[in-house]
Structure 1
Amino acid sequence: MTVRIQNDYLQAAISEKGAELTSLKANDIEYMWQADPTYWGRHAPILFPFVGRLKDDQYSYKGKSYPMSQHGFARDEMFEVAEQTDEKVVLTLKSNDKTKEIYPFDFLLSVSYEVWGEGLRVRFKVENTGNEEMLFALGGHPAFNVPLEESLSFEDYFFSFSPQKSRVKIPLDGPFANLDQKTIGQTNTNIRISRDLFQNDALIYETKGLNTFTIRAEDSPHSVTLAYNHIPYVGFWSPYPKEAPFVCIEPWWGFADPIDSTGKLEDKPGMNRLAPAEEFKTQFSITVR
């Protein structure tokens, strides 16, 4: 089932499967990628309780091994609509016998979408409903149409960054993070979008404080901006070498296994920890013009 919210400027659609944003329209323009499986059959999946790949698609916790596909299981689970108005919807996913077979923690994941002016707020809340410390990662994966207008091409667009400063870049070795080869990424200037930009998979940067990332073209008034405060990582991705007409801007609270991973969840870098009864809250916004 699809839930719809809107205001005078913006219309959004969210699927109960995965609590996934499937449409964001304004100016008679569809800003979200429409999940053509020829290129990538998703729109904006929620990544939980892992971000990225695990070595051998599994991990161990307290001596027991668990299978886990890339980006976790939340994107394929049915969420429940807990609250809905014309401009806001809250969807929830609770741990159950099925999830505990592959992730041994009790949790409640809430995802909120709310339209305001020219933007959409996406809020997350993770609650540890169990009796032991909980380890998790979390991420957004929204894919935006590029180009936004038929008269333009993929290569007409670029990323702009605010603040314009260098950020630590985490390179990938295959699907895994190579933490020993961190470099300084030149995000102190615009980066032209091209196919070759993604030939080594996603561009991943460490981020601190307030960050704003915009996809735009010099010859167009239309753009899309993703902004947040205090999210540790961001990924930029389009599936190389496919000539896919979209680009993702992905706020992450975690990342893929490093190349020297032990496979133990207790050792995995980038994970978040919650004591029993604690809550983790965070958010990002998408603004379109």
Structure 2
Amino acid sequence: MKHTISCYGTSLSADTRGAELCSYTDVHGCERLWEGDPSIWPGHAPVLFPIVGAPVNHQVRFAGQTYPIHKHGFMMMREFTLVEQGNDFLHFSASADDQTLRSYPYAFRLHIQHTLLSQGFSTEFCIQNEDTRPMPYCIGGHPGFRCPMEPGAAFEDYLLRFEKPENGQIAICPDGELIRGHEVLSPLAGGRELPLHHSYFDEKDALIFTSLASRQVDLIHRKSQKGIRFRFDDFDVLGVWTKPGARADYLCLEPWVGLNAYEGESGDFEQKPFVRTVLPGQSHRLVFTASILE
């Protein structure tokens, strides 16, 4: 079930299925999120939990025991409860049950809040450990932004501008499954700007940045400088993706805590790169924001 709020001359909609943000309309009435065309990619901004990316052989081990789990986890398919709604926010939550325990053997509660800002929106995750043991987890956002955003513009008219100079290192994951190593994306190496080309995604699937100095990136038109400013201070990895071969008009900016499995990885969840652990009775909060640049 979808819920909509309006504030600051903007509006936001999210679905109880997966607590997924599915629309953000700016002060000009322009939709900024991908519409979720099922013939290309049906998502808008799914939430990835308790794993990010693909595991080895579709399974992981917790404390030596093997559990089946799908790429990006299971929460995007779960029904959430709308806990609270205000003029400028929607707060959802969901908790562990018999079905989630088959893949992730921990009692947890996940809160997701989408908030309208004066010039954009934020999404906040709160991971609560309701178990008696320390709980390892991964989590990520997957918002897809319309690109191009201006009439008459093309995808290739846009670029990514990072907050700081970057080394250009990305994980090699050409089939979107296991990571086979790392390489340097030479157009970015030593600089701040990466012009967008569909060919990057045709060849590499996602651009997975694992060692960024920046925690802010702008998705902007090269000439007008209009677009989206994306901040992900609480996250370790940034994935950048659009469906290979589709030549579709969207780009996902994905803040991650966690990563696809590496070829040869043991499968032990606790040993995965960037995994975090929340202690019993405690919680972790993470926020990312998208702001309109005009």
TM-score scaled to structure 2, two decimals?
Answer: 0.92
1:16-66 superposed Cα distances (whole Å, 9 cap, x missing partner): 100111001112211100110111011000000000001111112233221
Of 227, 230, 242, the match for 1:223:
227
Classify the secondary structure of the residue corresponding to 2:215.
strand
Tell me the CA shift for residue 207 of structure 1.
Answer: 5.0
1:177 partner letter = I
Contact residue 259 and residue 272 of structure 2 kept, 8 A: no
Q: Closer, same or farther in 2 for the Cα pair 1:223/1:281, shift >3 Å?
A: same
Q: 1:221 to 1:190 in 2, by over 3 A?
A: closer
2:236 equivalent to 1:235: no
Q: Deviations over 1:162-209 (max 9, x none)?
A: 123335432225321235x35476262311111111121111113567
User: Counterparts of 2:207 and 2:68 in 1: how far apart (Å)?
Assistant: 26
1:271 aligns with 2:257: no
Rounded Cα–Cα distance in structure 2 between residues aligned with 1:283 and 1:210: 15
CA distance in 2, matches of 1:170, 1:177: 6
Aligned to 1:82: 83
Contact 2:8 2:117 in 1 (8 A): no
Partner of 2:10: 10
Distance 1:275 1:167, change over 3 A: farther
**1:79 Cα deviation from its structure 2 partner:** 0.6
Tell me how large the CA RMSD over aligned residues is.
1.8
2-side partners of 1:177 and 1:168: how far apart?
Answer: 13
Contact 2:10 2:29 in 1 (8 A): no
> What is the distance in 2 between the residues matched to 1:282 and 1:265?
20
Q: Gapped runs of 5+ residues in structure 1?
A: none
Identify which of 182, 190, 213 aligns with 2:217: 213
Distance 1:49 1:178 in 2: 22
Contact 2:45–2:144, Cα closer than 8 Å, also in 1: yes
Q: Which residue in the other structure is 1:142 paired with?
A: 143
Q: Which moved more, 1:33-42 or 1:213-222?
A: 213-222
Check whether the contact 2:239–2:255 (CA below 8 A) recurs between aligned residues.
yes
**Gapped runs of 5+ residues in structure 2?**
none
Q: Which amino acid aligns with 1:110?
A: H
Query: For 1:237 and 1:192, how far apart are their aligned partners in 2?
Result: 14
- Large movers: runs of 4+ above 6 Å: none
State the one-letter code of the partner of 2:266: T
2-structure distance, mates of 1:183, 1:221: 26
Question: Is 1:24 matched with 2:24?
Answer: yes
Quote the residue 1:191 is aligned against.
194
User: Residue type matched to 2:284 in 1?
Assistant: F
AA aligned opposite 2:273: P
After superposition, residues 1-289 of structure 1 pair within 5 angstroms as 1-26=1-26, 27-166=28-167, 168-172=169-173, 174=175, 175-179=177-181, 181=182, 183=184, 186=189, 188-198=191-201, 199-207=203-211, 211-220=215-224, 222-289=226-293
CA 1:220/1:51 → structure 2, altered by over 3 Å: closer, same or farther? same
Residues 110 and 32 (structure 1), Cα distance of their counterparts in 2 relative to 1, 3 Å cut? same
Aligned residue identity for 1:15: D
Contact 1:209 / 1:229 at 8 angstroms: preserved in 2?
no
Aligned residue pairs: how many? 288
Residue pair 1:210, 1:230 contacting (<8 A) in 2 also: no
Q: Distance in 2 between matches of 1:123 and 1:103?
A: 22
Deviations 1:126-179 (A, max 9, x none): 010001111110000000111112311111111111123335432225321235
Q: What amino acid is the match of 1:176?
A: L
Task: Determine the C-alpha separation between the residues in 2 that align with 1:103 and 1:23.
Answer: 30
TM-score where L is the length of structure 1: 0.94
Partner Cα distance (2:34, 2:279) in 1: 37
